[in-house]
Structure 1
Amino acid sequence: MSGRNENGDTPVYATRGLIDLLLERAAATEPAQMNVVLDATPAGDFETDLGVDPSTPVLSHVYFPTAGRAVSDVFGVDLGTPAGRGRARFLTHPQGPAELTRRDDLAGVVLLAVPPWERITAFDRRGRELSLTILDAEPPAESLPE
């Protein structure tokens, strides 16, 4: 998502709450696959210091594909995701494999889970595994415009 670690790969950061939610939903959705858009919050927007550069994106939100489903099905336009958001995806492979396939929807970062739904692996769009750091932090509360 930004910067490189000592191994030369781009580290991915996510909140524990998001990871727990994704694994719970994956287990509940099985045997169906999940394919949802993820969004990030800049590390500097968190109330606590996360120990990373303030501009580092931390995956913290998920957009479930419900809003605008009919338009998406017909025209391929996802109205459930705000414009300019969601450069990451979460996918599940209930029957395996534990790697990206040619049939997967790709994004800059893809988080992938397979049964027994205990671990998520991060990949770049080329299928290279990335380091995933899970942070015990809550993203700032968001409010809807009045």
Structure 2
Amino acid sequence: MVYATRGLVDVLTDLAADADPDPVSTGVSATPAGDLAGADGLPPETPVFTDFVLPDVGRSVNAVFGLELSTPAPGAPARFVSHPVGELEVTKADDLAQVVFVAVPPWGAGEASFAAFGRGGERLPLEVVDAEPPVESFAARER
């Protein structure tokens, strides 16, 4: 089972809709359920996908130096890709990860337009949870 917060699913489909007709690809990271408000029914160590990096972050540095700055913190096992024209499936052109979230139009139509897949293209069971990640400040990250 793959878990993702409703807020993450909503913002990823909004990104895809805003970029349409261009595709979107970005990294997605998880937070342990025990650190989330509202994930009380899940074991505390269960990874719940909660965060993403804006797709345009580091594009110019990547082009010059070959560094991928839009990848979330180490251990982020997922990618999000949108297929403005295509099927709800993983393609050979997608950036792959352990888990690949795929969205297709009509954006925001639930299971018909958003799904999780394994690296090999098999559809994974996805549960969207109404949980909130902890609020972090830049000051807390600098410590």
Whether these two folds match at TM > 0.5 is yes
The CA deviation at 1:44 is: 0.8
1:80 corresponds to: 70
Secondary structure at 1:44 match in 2: helix
1:24 corresponds to: 14
Query: Is the counterpart of residue 137 in structure 1 residue 127 in structure 2?
Result: no
The CA deviation at 1:142 is: 1.1
Decide whether aligned partners of structure 1 residues 80 and 49 sit closer, same or farther in structure 2, where only a CA change above 3 A counts.
closer
Secondary structure at 1:21 match in 2: helix
TM-score by length of 2: 0.87
Provide the aligned C-alpha RMSD in A: 1.6
% same residue: 49
1:48-127 to structure 2, matched below 5 A, reads 48-117=38-107, 118=109, 119-127=113-121
The CA deviation at 1:82 is: 4.7
Secondary structure at 1:110 match in 2: strand
- Check whether the contact 1:50–1:135 (CA below 8 A) recurs between aligned residues: no
- Check whether the contact 2:39–2:130 (CA below 8 A) recurs between aligned residues: no
Amino acid at match of 1:35: S
Secondary structure at 2:86 match in 1: coil
CA–CA distance in 2 between the matches of 1:38 and 1:55?
Answer: 18
Gaps of 5+ in 2: none
Gaps of 5+ in 1: 1-10
CA–CA distance in 2 between the matches of 1:58 and 1:116?
Answer: 25
CA–CA distance in 1 between the matches of 2:21 and 2:81?
Answer: 13
Amino acid at match of 1:120: F
Decide whether aligned partners of structure 1 residues 143 and 91 sit closer, same or farther in structure 2, where only a CA change above 3 A counts.
same
- Check whether the contact 1:13–1:133 (CA below 8 A) recurs between aligned residues: yes
Amino acid at match of 1:46: L
The CA deviation at 1:34 is: 0.5
Of residues 106-115 and 38-47 in structure 1, the stretch that sits farther from structure 2 once superposed is 38-47
Q: In proportion to residue count, which structure has more helix?
A: 2
CA–CA distance in 2 between the matches of 1:35 and 1:75?
Answer: 19
Deviations 1:89-121 (A, max 9, x none): 110111102211111110000000111012311
Secondary structure at 2:116 match in 1: strand
2:5 corresponds to: 15
Secondary structure at 1:26 match in 2: helix
